[in-house]
Structure 1
Amino acid sequence: MPKLLTENLKYNYLSADEPPVRDERVGGCIAYCGSCSSFQGDFKSGCAQAQNRKFSQSGGCQLGLALGIINSLSNVITIVHSPLGCCSGLAGMAGVRNSNRASRGLTTEDQTFIHTNMDELDVVNGGIDKLTRAILYADKEYHPEVIAIVNGCVPGIIGDDIDSVVRELEPQISARLVPVHCEGFKSRFVSSGYDAANHGILKYLIRDPKEYPQLTEDAQIKYDFAKKYRISKTVNIFNVGSNSNGDEVELSRLVSALGLIPRVVPLNASVDVLDHLGEAALNVSICATHDDYILGHLKERYGTEYILDVLPIGINCTNTWVRKIAAHFHLEKEAEKLIEQENKELKEAIAPFVEILKGKKIFVGGGETRILTTADFYHSIGMELVGVKAHNVDRFVENLLQDIDNPDLVVEVAAGQPAEELNVLSHLKPDIYIGHVGANGWVTKLGIPNIPLFGMNINYMGYSGAFELARRAARALKNTNFSKNISRYIGHPLTEEWMNLDPKDNMIQGDLF
């Protein structure tokens, strides 16, 4: 797998109150349907980035992605500054948060959200007074370590200056105040929400490590030596919201097997852990879309090198992930010994599943890096990859696309858009679908058996994750009666005219308005 070139990217954005949107920073494509070969050419020429769709359904929300990161932190109170509708999913988000923490053996905490409930009068007069009262109340009533102010679309449109409020109130507040700008109307890329949350973490929660002046001179020397040794062996593994605890345990196991010290961050981390985030020899991303902004800044601030160009899913990509980490520490021999042993055991274990899956048609939909590495694994064990659907495509997976050896492979780019995806699937007729959470219900109505692309309680990454990918797909294909019965007796709501439409006909070059 070729190295991803990111040397031309600069990340000196922390002097600004909010990060640049991805449209400006990395570019990318949010609408496409065509062959892999045509997409590769159109992406290089810029034509793919200029495409839109005639009929469009809703996509994701930047505020939701930003909250997914911020809400995972320990002892944080979140203030959502927006009209009431933006908090409609917060109760479920709090439940997911505590489930995730419990699965990792972390203390569960009451998740408290405060909402400014902007109304029509606030749109005219501004909502700053409500926000100020909410911040003072949160600090007095709950005494959190962090108060995050998540800004919705409406205050962004009317110009509420949440950063001025933060600067004014900081001397009066014991908590750290973190403004998060995730106004969705500013970007076509829902993944800009990741940058918004990481911008707040970088600017307000990562501080220079604290010294311990109370130590004697001799004790300080010993402490500094031990600290330097620990940092020289520490590998930060940057987790994402789609990680399970099993994924984190597996990746930590592989890093430990090389004689290194794994540390999983930033989701579910404490403020103290974030303070020491710069104390690492290497930062390792498992999703470039999620992490490039924070890893780039950490390199510029602390000089910490990072690995960004591979996600450890499947045999080939996990091998590459291990080799890249080992190479940074000159542990190539240790890596090859580990890879040889793991590959031998894994291939023997999945042999019965490979016999079931070989020759079956598969379609994979979800986040760009995740789908391409997942597709690579299934293709490597003999399945026929007929199509992929990415939420968006940017420069971080351009080389992964070039590795695809099937020029006719169907590539769809769409965040959400279930009607369009069902149209594509009805033409391709895969034997099994691997897709993002939320898509599986629609796909079942087509009669296609499927498994989720990720799950909070399921291991997908590393070598043990590859075993689970093979096992779960084989199990889904053993008995397909459920999806067939759903299709027969319920069906989907889309018209025959829509389903017969060539999906490429829904694309249009340039903006509609």
Structure 2
Amino acid sequence: MPDINHLKRLSDVKSNVGVKFLTPAAFPGSHCPLHPALALAGNIKGLSSLVVGTPECATYSRVVLTNTQVRQGELHWTYVLDASEVVFGCRQGVMGALQKMDQAGAKAILLLATCVPELIGEDIENIVREVQPKLSARLICVMLGHFKCNSFPSGSWKTLQAIGSLMEPRRVQPQVVNVIGRSPDEKHIPMPPVLSALQQQGFSLRCLSPGSSLEDFLAAPDAALNVVLSPFTDPLAAAMDQSFGTPAFRLHNVYDVAEIDALYSSIARKLKFQWRNEFYHERMEALALQEQAKKRLHGCRYICAHIGPVRTIPLAAYLAALGMEPLLLHLEEFWPDDKHWSETLNALGYDPLVCHMVNSGSDAPLLESLSPDLCLGDLSGTKFRVPCVPYLSDLYGMSGYERTNSLLKRILRTLDHLFMPKAGGGRRGIA
């Protein structure tokens, strides 16, 4: 059985390139950054796309966009490189395709360059600069070489950053708040209480996410602040803060009650109002659960597997403050600000191994060999003999005290199950 000596400690990782696969069983497909970039392009009203790549990329792009509703002024085209262009470049062909899309009525075009254009050194950004003065449509581009990132999240945040480059300064409207990371059509996930409370205070919420329109994104600099609910939108919020001075309040990576208190107070101070004890019950429950967790989780050794779009390292830093010891963390992405969170976790005395997990059947035996007490997240399709805290991806879309409550309840419920007496036997428990 292969060992884990090839993995790095968190303190040794400076970018996503340093995060190694746990086993050699890597695969592309949904882990390719083209997938979320195309999904975004197909779900932002008014945005067109041009994929530049091989026939495989073209076929894949059509699969991703199969159920996309194409509206007027939207085109989703592919430019397939021929053998000559792979050797000598595709500059003229791509410029011609962009001009044809402009003539066909595209208003804004997202050019998605896949692996081969990056490998042959094609200067896509220069192509965009050269052809832009000849077009009515506005152009942006994203480089999506899978060989540079190993995973998919960069396809989302790089695309949103590119859309942000189309923004221009606007007069600030003090009653407008951008909610970055929640769709205006997101009915299946309840509105976080903090957003409902802002509405009750008379603030207008503009949702920026798949399902929003390009016009919504372009109007975003007029907001008094950005409430950030998703790690995929965090780099866009950071860019807006730098370009327009729009302050960002990040709710997707905060769990500690005192930190939530400070964040909510800062939002109210910035918007010049006072809360009315709207969160009293949720806050008191979070305080009680947090004290209970400090007593019960101290010394618990865990691994973190697949937890969906929830940020791994900020979560590990919070749990470390409660006394939980991370042995190994699955990182779908090493985010731009993860260095800060890594330093926070290291300062608490923990330096776990980090990896990509992409094949549960091969990964499970290695994870079991670490003898963890718990596994956070899912390892589907295997007979994994480590107790798991499932469905942590459901935390996505929650924020504030209710998010902390949900997290701690799931962990404590799993511990309760471990300590339940077996029929005809003793009790189970963590080491």
TM over 0.5: yes
Q: Where does residue 149 of structure 1 map in the other structure?
A: 111
Distance 2:177 2:369 in 1: 45
1:169-221 Cα shifts (integer Å, max 9, x gaps) = 54664433222223344567865545632442133x32345xxxxxxxxxxxx
Distance 1:373 1:199 in 2: 22
Structure 2 counterpart of 1:413, from 354, 375, 379: 354
Question: Counterparts in 2 of 1:16-27, with a 5 A limit?
Answer: none
What amino acid sits opposite 1:453 in the alignment? L
Structure 1 counterpart of 2:168, from 169, 191, 207: 207
1:460–1:469 CA contact under 8 A, matched in 2: no
Question: Counterparts in 2 of 1:66-85, with a 5 A limit?
Answer: 66-85=37-56
Question: Counterparts in 2 of 1:318-397, with a 5 A limit?
Answer: 318-331=260-273, 334=275, 337-344=277-284, 362-365=302-305, 370-375=311-316, 387-393=328-334, 396-397=337-338
Structure 2 counterpart of 1:301, from 233, 237, 243: 243
The 1:162–1:407 alpha-carbon spacing in structure 2 relative to 1, beyond 3 Å, is closer
Distance 1:479 1:140 in 2: 63
The 1:271–1:362 alpha-carbon spacing in structure 2 relative to 1, beyond 3 Å, is same
What amino acid sits opposite 2:196 in the alignment? R
Quote the offset at 1:342 in angstroms: 2.7
Q: Are 2:205 and 1:262 equivalent residues in the alignment?
A: yes
1:370-423 Cα shifts (integer Å, max 9, x gaps) = 224545777789988665433455673455456559967562322345578535
1:247–1:465 CA contact under 8 A, matched in 2: no
Question: Counterparts in 2 of 1:206-245, with a 5 A limit?
Answer: 206-209=167-170, 231-239=173-181
Q: Secondary structure at the match of 2:221?
A: coil
2:301–2:326 CA contact under 8 A, matched in 1: yes
249-258 vs 367-376, which moves further: 367-376
Q: Where does residue 461 of structure 1 map in the other structure?
A: 399
The 1:393–1:369 alpha-carbon spacing in structure 2 relative to 1, beyond 3 Å, is farther
- Specify every segment of 5 or more residues in structure 1 that has no aligned partner in the other structure, as ranges: 1-30, 99-107, 210-226, 481-513
Q: Secondary structure at the match of 2:50?
A: strand
2:8–2:20 CA contact under 8 A, matched in 1: no
Quote the offset at 1:426 in angstroms: 0.7
Q: Where does residue 275 of structure 1 map in the other structure?
A: 218
Q: Where does residue 219 of structure 1 map in the other structure?
A: none
Distance 2:15 2:83 in 1: 41
Question: Over aligned residues, Cα RMSD in angstroms?
Answer: 4.8
- Compare relative contact order (CA 8 Å, sep 6+) and give the higher one, 1 or 2: 1
Q: Secondary structure at the match of 2:330?
A: strand
The 1:389–1:157 alpha-carbon spacing in structure 2 relative to 1, beyond 3 Å, is closer
The 1:387–1:155 alpha-carbon spacing in structure 2 relative to 1, beyond 3 Å, is closer
The 1:303–1:138 alpha-carbon spacing in structure 2 relative to 1, beyond 3 Å, is same
Quote the offset at 1:236 in angstroms: 2.1
1:460-481 Cα shifts (integer Å, max 9, x gaps) = 434444454456667778989x
2:251–2:399 CA contact under 8 A, matched in 1: no
Question: Counterparts in 2 of 1:11-160, with a 5 A limit?
Answer: 32-34=7-9, 39=10, 56=24, 58=26, 60-87=31-58, 89-90=60-61, 93-94=64-65, 109=70, 113-141=76-104, 143-160=105-122
Quote the offset at 1:83 in angstroms: 0.7
Distance 1:184 1:207 in 2: 31
The 1:347–1:460 alpha-carbon spacing in structure 2 relative to 1, beyond 3 Å, is same
Distance 1:88 1:314 in 2: 45
Q: Secondary structure at the match of 1:149?
A: strand
Distance 2:17 2:146 in 1: 19
Q: Where does residue 494 of structure 1 map in the other structure?
A: none
The 1:469–1:190 alpha-carbon spacing in structure 2 relative to 1, beyond 3 Å, is same
Quote the offset at 1:281 in angstroms: 1.6
Q: Secondary structure at the match of 1:180?
A: strand
1:368–1:390 CA contact under 8 A, matched in 2: no
How many residues are aligned here? 401
Structure 2 counterpart of 1:175, from 114, 134, 137: 137
Q: Where does residue 379 of structure 2 map in the other structure?
A: 440
What amino acid sits opposite 2:220 in the alignment? L
1:391–1:415 CA contact under 8 A, matched in 2: yes
1:284-319 Cα shifts (integer Å, max 9, x gaps) = 334567523x33432343222333586245756544
1:315–1:377 CA contact under 8 A, matched in 2: no
Q: Secondary structure at the match of 1:440?
A: coil
Quote the offset at 1:67 in angstroms: 3.5
Quote the offset at 1:123 in angstroms: 0.8
Distance 1:259 1:301 in 2: 27
Quote the offset at 1:124 in angstroms: 2.2
Distance 1:152 1:208 in 2: 31
1:149–1:180 CA contact under 8 A, matched in 2: yes
What amino acid sits opposite 2:80 in the alignment? N
1:361–1:384 CA contact under 8 A, matched in 2: yes
2:53–2:117 CA contact under 8 A, matched in 1: yes
Distance 1:473 1:74 in 2: 40
Q: Where does residue 511 of structure 1 map in the other structure?
A: none
What amino acid sits opposite 1:115 in the alignment? T
2:23–2:363 CA contact under 8 A, matched in 1: no
Compute the TM-score of the two structures, normalised by the length of structure 2.
Answer: 0.70
Compute the TM-score of the two structures, normalised by the length of structure 1.
Answer: 0.60
The 1:404–1:197 alpha-carbon spacing in structure 2 relative to 1, beyond 3 Å, is closer
The 1:433–1:329 alpha-carbon spacing in structure 2 relative to 1, beyond 3 Å, is same
**Percent of residue pairs bearing the same amino acid type:** 18
2:364–2:384 CA contact under 8 A, matched in 1: no
Q: Where does residue 124 of structure 2 map in the other structure?
A: 162
Q: Secondary structure at the match of 1:232?
A: strand
1:444–1:450 CA contact under 8 A, matched in 2: no
Distance 1:54 1:385 in 2: 16
1:314–1:376 CA contact under 8 A, matched in 2: no
- Structure number with the higher helix fraction is 1
